Amino acid sequence: MSAYLDTHVAVWLHDGLVARLSAEAKRQIEGNDLLISPMVLLEFQYLYERRRLGVEPIPLYSYLKTTFGVDLCSFPFPAVAVEALSVGWTNDPFDRIIVGHAKANREAILITADTLIRQNYPAAVW
């Protein structure tokens, strides 16, 4: 089974901040094939440009792929965009696409610490 990582979870894995992860998040990470939406990669860039990340997106992703087997999901974007249209409970474009991506891919698990996402996406875990 596949599970998507939200942006913060991916960054925490990269930074070795595993203690920030819940027991359930760790269990899901260890028990699933891990994916990130391409929108997470774009959000890495956004955070890097605002100096909230100290590493550029491609090296960050490369580390996640090499160390944790995280793949960049290639699910068709039109299906993702259609699902993202129904994510009206947030105005955050990153969250809309990330959740839309998980929804489009058979309501896949999304590992996230984000309370709003967890309240609104039934397959979100923390």
| Domain containing residue 111: CATH number | 3.40.50.1010
For the chain, what percent of residues have pLDDT higher than 90?
Answer: 99
Residues sharing a CB contact under 8 Å with residue 33, sequence separation 6 or more, in sequence order: 1, 2, 3, 69, 71
User: Which range of residues forms the domain containing residue 70?
Assistant: 2-125
Among candidate residues 13, 10, 3, 8, the one with its CA nearest the CA of residue 101: 3
Q: Could you report the per-residue pLDDT of 93-120, keeping only the tens digit for each?
A: 999 999 999 999 999 999 999 999 999 9
The number of folded domains in the chain is 1
* pTM score, whole prediction: 0.95
With cut-offs at 50, 70 and 90, classify the pLDDT of residue 1: confident
Q: Could you report the per-residue pLDDT of 26-63, keeping only the tens digit for each?
A: 999 999 999 999 999 999 999 999 999 999 999 999 99
Task: Copy the structure tokens of residue 115.
Answer: 């309370």
C-alpha to C-alpha distance for 47 and 53, rounded to whole angstroms: 6
